[in-house]
Structure 1
Amino acid sequence: MAVDGVDGVGKTTFAGELADSLRARGRLVVQVSADGFLHPAPVRHRRGRSSPEGFWLDSYDYPALIDDVLRAPADAVLVVDGLFLQRVELRAYWEMTIFLDAPFEVTVPRMAARDGSHPDPGHPSQARYVGGQRLYFASCDPQSRADVLIDHADLRNPEILRP
């Protein structure tokens, strides 16, 4: 199961709560963050430290994620949270995809509170991240492809938009 969405939307927290809920129902659950499969900085930044294309194309070691996690035998429910999880090379591995949706005007300030980055999605320092995620939207249309779409702008009152 993929928990997808942009930086700062609440993927890891949501995935943890989902995993806990499944465990409470007696399911064996393995939770993994795609962030554990980031390429080293020289690979991530080979197109430039501010490159949206570099963020979208070079951030993650997808072959390692596939080999180490997604192809592994599963006796458990696998919950993976991360960015760009509906890329073409990953789609076949998900029994279900959940996309947490919120505007950049909400998620970028959340990310800034977490990591000290600039809170304005239009700031030049955010061009890599916001631009890379927009490239993902244009290439993969994750909101439309997701099995479950959740408006996650208000963390206290998420709203299931689909199904």
Structure 2
Amino acid sequence: MSIIPVEARRVAVDGVDGVGKTTFARRLVADLNAAGRPAVHISADGFHHPRAIRHRRGRHSPEGFWLDSYDYPALITNVLEPFAPGGSGGYRPAVHDVDTDELLDLPWHQAPAGATVVVDGLFLHRDELAGHWDFTIFLAAPFEVTVPRMAARDGSHPDPEHPSQARYVQGQKLYFAECRPWERASLVIDYGVLPPMPA
């Protein structure tokens, strides 16, 4: 995709749960590779903290969702630093399996020379990560759109006001209040209506 500068090797695709980050990131990587620009896709979901840390403020805590979900030092060490200028290009795609709560010790992969890494995930415009991106994208859509999308995918409740959604919706609102990611992003895309899937 021409939206990504040639010199950008570390690209973030940010947005709330259900907005379509993973699909967008995969398309972006496919387009970059098709254009002769080697690219690797990483999901920040492979860098969750173990459940004991994620839930230490309470299983339903919005603050816990916002503050404790991800192991940012691990994401930096295993992905973002290797793709930085002068980095080795050796990376690991995950350190944790969120479904089994298992810590992973995966082998290191070697990216092609000059490859771009595209990372999709929540909260990617946090202060801890701000200096580690070359280009960032924020996919914008209201919770009234994204929560039903997530429900269709995961079987969760489709109403953003439902108590079962409070941890996630309110946690992401805390992120908005502190970081205003649409102001930090290199590019904001209105993703309230998903583009058609390619044939």
Q: Indicate whether the TM-score tops 0.5.
A: yes
Which of structure 1's runs of 4+ aligned residues deviate more than 6 A? none
Q: 1:83 aligns with which of 122, 128, 152?
A: 122
Q: Does 1:103 align with 2:142?
A: yes
Aligned residues: 157
- What SS does the corresponding residue of 1:90 show, helix, strand or coil? helix
What is the match of residue 186 of structure 2?
147
Q: Does 1:48 align with 2:58?
A: yes
> How many angstroms apart in 2 are the aligned matches of 1:148 and 1:10?
16
Q: 2:39 aligns with which of 29, 32, 43?
A: 29
When structure 1 is superposed on structure 2, of 71-80 and 87-96 the one drifting more is 71-80
Taking structure 2 as the reference length, what is the TM-score of the superposition? 0.77
Q: Give 1:112-151 correspondences, 5 Å limit.
A: 112-151=151-190
Post-superposition offset of 1:145:
1.2
> How many angstroms apart in 1 are the aligned matches of 2:194 and 2:72?
29
What letter matches 1:110 in structure 2? R
> How many angstroms apart in 1 are the aligned matches of 2:131 and 2:19?
24
Post-superposition offset of 1:41:
1.1
> How many angstroms apart in 2 are the aligned matches of 1:94 and 1:116?
33
What is the match of residue 7 of structure 1?
17
Post-superposition offset of 1:142:
0.1
The structure with the greater share of residues assigned to helix is: 1
In structure 1, the gaps of 5 or more residues are 158-163
What letter matches 1:32 in structure 2? I
What is the match of residue 63 of structure 1?
73
In structure 2, the gaps of 5 or more residues are 1-10, 90-113
What is the match of residue 160 of structure 1?
none
The Cα RMSD (Å) is 0.9
